[in-house]
Chains A and B, each alone.
Chain A
Amino acid sequence: MAAPRITIVGASLAGLRCAEALLAALPEARVTLVGDERHAPYNRPPLSKDAAEALAAGPGAGPEVFEKLRLRSKLAPGAVTLRLGVAAEALDGTDVRLSDGRRIGSDWVVAATGLRPRRLPLTGAEDRRHVLRSYDDALTLAATLRTGARMVVIGAGFIGCEIAATARKLGLHVTLVEPAPQPMLRALGARVAAAMAALHRSHGVTLLSGRAVAGFDGARVILDDGQALEADVIVEALGSQPNTGWLTDSGADLSDGVLVDDRMLAPGAENLLAVGDIARFANPLFDAVPRRTEHWCIPGQTAKRAAETIAALCTGQRPTPGFAPMPSFWSDQYGMRLQAFGAPALAETQTVIEGDLSQTGTAPVIVEYARAGRPVGLIGLGANPAALARHRARLTAALTPPVDA
């Protein structure tokens, strides 16, 4: 059989890891990696944390910071064809049409195009409104992070809370506006979210929860109750939307990301797979509901799975059934590590199993999350890694064997 031609669209964590796994499994494959950013693949989590802080030192810091962010790769130079600074616009069957007018002939296409920040559908204050997803976003935002500046962060999800913490460290005045009653509520549940709210307040953040933005007026952010906040810097951190525009005619279910099965294949489309933040799949560790998961670990896990599938199908084998990766995520705020395993967002109950939530930020806390009496997640707040590892082993045991889908 001729060497398979595989085009991976999206040259970030998921795309790069998929290229590596494909060449390890199918050394003869001809892999093209297409990315619309002009940068080599890099790591995003530090952009709201230490990289934002380092970039705030001035434009001169850029090259050194980027070198740390750049994803190290096992690929030999030239092992894949890298097409950076060009976007995929559409699929023609399994060929990929690019923004420069070219077309890449492909037998398989892997979608790894990730997410873009959601924006408020409001006009005004355009000169000071920022989002944070890419290195270029971070560069522009970092230039505004000056001691004494007034920052308004809209949306207290993880990225909003992290950039608020980083800005406090740099001496900015920070107001965090969140429509929900607590920050990071969906991901953490009410009790831990309340503890995180207290942590932000104790570090000098003005947290306005249960409030939404109604508009912008010059340099002011106007809230739904009429309150006006003066702002030098505004960060819109309202969550993200999947980059699926180029897949419109693919036949895949694009209702929220790309729906894929346990082999990362998109039903309804021809030889299309999806990996990383954009992939929506059921995880039998929890239930049969397909979900997107925006954690750093997912790109690596799904990329390997997609490569196994392509390798099996190209060599006339059947991919092994079943895919049940253990999710994990972390966040760093005010020097405290929040480390989660499993799916705390699915839980109905939270039980503190070590420490005391009122001590969050000063002493270790471990919380177990359960649904229908069964553990589904675990969160450590400044917890000892060894202790957390022991509880994680218990969680893994409780989640396996997976529930029948």
Chain B
Amino acid sequence: MKVHVDMSICLLHGQCVIAAPEVFSFDDDGGLVWLAEVDESLAADVEAASDACPEQAIVIG
């Protein structure tokens, strides 16, 4: 599955990093990084991250 974060609305809450640490993480400067293409085995985690994002910034394609 494809994962995208709309950085024009992301406010760096970091809820995605908690829900799906294998997909989302912070770099040392506090910027959000994520895997653009993830295995289906992580689909539930990505869904949970998308639900947990208070800004609805995560787009799953």
Binding site for B on A (CB under 8 A): 17, 43, 45, 71-72, 74, 296-297, 300, 326, 328, 330, 332, 337, 339, 384-389, 392
Contacts and interface: CB of A to CB of B under 8 A. Distances in A.
B5 interface: no
Given A386-B26, A386-B30, A392-B18, A297 B11 contact: no
B28 interface: yes
A296 B29 CA distance: 26
Contacts of B27: 386
Interface residues of B, number: 18
A332 B54 CA distance: 13
Contacts of A339: 13-14
Contacts of B29: 384, 386
Secondary structure class of chain A's binding surface, majority of residues: mixed
A338 to B, nearest CB: 12
A384 B31 CA distance: 9
Given A385-B17, A389-B17, A389-B26, 9 more contacts: A71-B56, A74-B47, A296-B54, A297-B52, A337-B12, A385-B14, A385-B26, A386-B26, A392-B18
B45 interface: no
Given A386-B26, A392-B18, A337 B11 contact: yes
Interface in B9-25: 11-15, 17-18
A74 B50 CA distance: 10
B51 A17 contact: yes
A293 to B, nearest CB: 15
Given A43-B56, A71-B56, A297 B30 contact: no
B13 A330 contact: yes
Given A386-B27, A389-B26, A72 B56 contact: yes
